[in-house]
Amino acid sequence: MRGSLFACFLLLSVLPAAAQTQDPQFSDAADVVAVEVPVQVLRDGEPVRGLSAADFEVWEGKRKLPVTGFEALDLNSMPAGDKGWQSPQAISARRHFLLLFDMGFSSPKGIVKAQGAARDMLAGLHPSDLVAVSAYMPSVGPQLLLGFTTDRAQVIQALNALGNPEMFNRAADPLRLVLGDGPGGVYGLDPMRDPSEILADLGNAQTPEERKELIGELKSAAKDRSDGPGYTEGTGAKIERAERTEQQRAVTAMARAFEDLAKTVGSLYGRKYVVLFSEGFDAAVFTGTADVDEQLQASHISAKGAAVWGVDSTKRFGDTKTMNDLEGMLEELRRADCVVQAVDVGGLREGAGPTMQWAGGRDSLFLLAESTGGELFENYNDLSAAMEQMLRRTSVTYVLAVQPEGLARDGAYHEIRVELKNAPRGTRVVHRPGYYAPRPYGQQSPTEKLLQTARGLVGGKDAGTIGTSVLAVPFHTGSTEAYVPVIIEVDGRTLKAGTEGWAVPVEIYAYAFDAKGQARDFFSQTVGLELLKVGAALDQSGLKFFGHLDLPPGTWAVRVLVRNAATGSAGMKSITVEVPEFAKAEPVLLPAFFPEPAGKWLTVRESQPGGQVAYPFMIGEQAYIPASMPRLTPGQEATLSLVAYHLRPGELQAEARIRTPDGRDAGAGRIRIVQRHGNPAAGGAESLSAVFEPPAGLEPGEYLLMVTLTGAAGEKQSSVASFALDRRF
């Protein structure tokens, strides 16, 4: 797997592309902004099925927004097998689960238990559900291990990698869809020292990890050496105050980090279920002490007039600033339609009975869950069973598309409400409370920009404003994996449209997914195009990029996304590639290739070509570059090349049938084999030079060319390629 380096950490990844409407974040060139609103309708705790667009109304304040698009996704009606992830419906209707592991307020033992609970949870999810894995580190905030994906094997690998520091710094896959391997890490403590020395170091500590470790060391030292040197009567109070201050700092840092997380994913259309694995923080930080004796003692001191210097008001009443930070975090989570499902890892049990856990942590987890519409899960080993009710309630999603008029691209938040007409008593409508208006691409953060790229690839639907076509075919190299060249043609005019300045920065991504949604291989590349040098070539045709993938036998969805990194415009193309089992030595005919004249395109090859593979596109001794989307002229013959493996010797007959993209027959074309090249007796590859003429009267447009070769003994081999028919001028 190959990829260029990006100086950016991805907080979350893989957001959905719009279904039948223009995603405002996919292209900044759209005049009309469509907003998707996923909705769940419940009655007596069960999902309501069979609703239509006419059953809903969407309001923004007093303004009713017309519903311009509607889709329904019912997980019970989708295939539960390997192809369940390939839902044709809007990806925004699919459930997004972010498994977030709190490394700041959880013990290593609790994280290990959480890993097991998360694995159990995966068994209860539908194949179409998207799952991401992240860990919260106090010093750096939430860090992504794996972006939203249907690849359960990658999720398991990410869970196994928790605690490995190198996992947060890898840059092989810029979109975080494919993991790498790496060693684990171990924490350790310094030998015990004098409490006074530790207090001095605590005052100079720079990071949350340092302060947390020093406080733990200080408490241990004070406990074991309370009558020794360095320990005074006020040491205990200093320790308590330092611990409380650090707790407030830690909670504030977490609140601000989670608030930023919510803002980042606020443009994600679809409900996000943040499954937070944590032991929680001390609720006394915002509620004040729960100890009755301490409350009575504080009241007694206050009654004597010693309130100012004798009572710690923060300890008694809680810290107002910390509570404000928490309220801001919760509000942003609600706005972003993030539901926190809190899992108390301190309460997860190994045996028959629950372990004892401090109430403060439970109360803080309950606050996070209850305030966002989620639940607190305690004492569950099998998390899939615990969350079964929640999964059942969210199995039916309706996606309403609306187009607010006069929407400014300023990133402002707009509150909305969804109403169900003639709703029976007891019906509950659950939907996102609002949406964020898009912002110009140049004003978005690097994280938001990468989210758009990953979203298009996982969505898998052809979309965008940049004209893009792709050719990907397998060639046998003698190994177990096929060499699959990926030739990407990018229309130059749409690629550079809207670019200001002297260069066009181009980002290219290609991923191969199997039938289960697992990413097998990928490549990515950044290309800078100087308009003074190549502007004319872009106007004439465009950019032609040559990369490759290494894939084993099977059916693969190869998805390519091309983006203008200056304007945000993008083009997405997905094709299916069948890799045969070449080792079986059975006859194979690859799709027809249409050679193009040299110099037609501005051609760029990948910067990290793989292996010593011979150039595959040859007619005899002559190399050529095939067209990704051949453009033919009515009534004119076109040269083509047919590549086959293990054909029998003897005369061959060729037949050409034309079909529309939806499979309708469009007539027969004329095809004639001119010459065979290669050594079929040796069982190797051979190329056939041929000419092809489309049928007369065929209307301009895109078509499929089905070529069938018939051998002397009647054996047949077929393949399908794409082409476009232009108008005759």
**pLDDT digit string, tens, across residues 181-190:** 433 332 233 3
Give the burial string for 594-610 (b: 16+ CB within 10 Å, else e).
bbbeeeebbebebeeee
Quote the pLDDT of residue 210: 60
Quote the pLDDT of residue 691: 92
Quote the pLDDT of residue 179: 66
Confidence of residue 202 (pLDDT cuts 50, 70, 90): low
Encoded tokens for 537: 């070539």
First-to-final CA distance of the chain: 45
Confidence of residue 245 (pLDDT cuts 50, 70, 90): confident
For residue 293, what are the contacts with CB-CB under 8 A and spacing of at least 6? none
Task: Identify the bridge partners of residue 101 per DSSP, sorted by sequence position.
Answer: 135, 277
For residue 398, what are the contacts with CB-CB under 8 A and spacing of at least 6? 38, 39, 40, 41, 51, 56, 70, 71, 72, 73, 93
In angstroms, rounded to a whole number, what is the distance separating the alpha carbons of residues 400 and 60? 14
Is a pLDDT exceeding 80 seen at residue 399? yes
Confidence of residue 289 (pLDDT cuts 50, 70, 90): very low
Averaged pLDDT, 53-63: 93
Nearest to 162 by CA among 118, 131, 192: 118
User: 439-486, pLDDT tens digit by residue?
Assistant: 787 777 776 776 667 777 877 778 889 999 999 999 998 888 999 999
The mean of the pLDDT values for the chain is 77
Quote the pLDDT of residue 682: 43
Quote the pLDDT of residue 80: 53
Q: Which helix (H) or strand (E) is 547 found in, with range? A: strand 542-551
Lowest mean pLDDT among 18-27, 117-126, 589-598, 665-674: 18-27
Give the angle 31-57-438 at the CA atoms, nearest 5°: 30
Select the more confidently predicted residue: 344 or 207.
Answer: 344
Quote the pLDDT of residue 723: 92
Averaged pLDDT, 381-409: 82
Which range has highest mean pLDDT (16-30, 132-146, 599-613)? 132-146
Q: Do the Cβ atoms of 525 and 606 come closer than 8 Å?
A: yes
Quote the pLDDT of residue 602: 92
In angstroms, rounded to a whole number, what is the distance separating the alpha carbons of residues 343 and 366? 10
Distance of CA 326 to the CA centre of its chain: 27
Is a pLDDT exceeding 60 seen at residue 11? no
Quote the pLDDT of residue 66: 92
Is a pLDDT exceeding 50 seen at residue 294? no
Confidence of residue 300 (pLDDT cuts 50, 70, 90): very low
Select the more confidently predicted residue: 47 or 262.
Answer: 47
Quote the pLDDT of residue 440: 80
E strands present in 403-502:
413-415, 417-420, 427-431, 434-436, 463-464, 468-472, 482-491
Quote the pLDDT of residue 353: 41
User: 614-660, pLDDT tens digit by residue?
Assistant: 788 888 788 899 999 999 988 888 999 999 988 888 888 899 999 99
Q: Which helix (H) or strand (E) is 398 found in, with range? A: strand 396-402
Select the more confidently predicted residue: 75 or 543.
Answer: 543
Encoded tokens for 306: 């010693």
Select the more confidently predicted residue: 551 or 228.
Answer: 551
3-state secondary structure 152-185: HHHHHHHHHCCCCHHHHCCCCCCCCCCCCCCCCC
pTM for the predicted model, two decimal places: 0.73
Lowest mean pLDDT among 7-11, 94-98, 531-535: 7-11
Quote the pLDDT of residue 410: 83
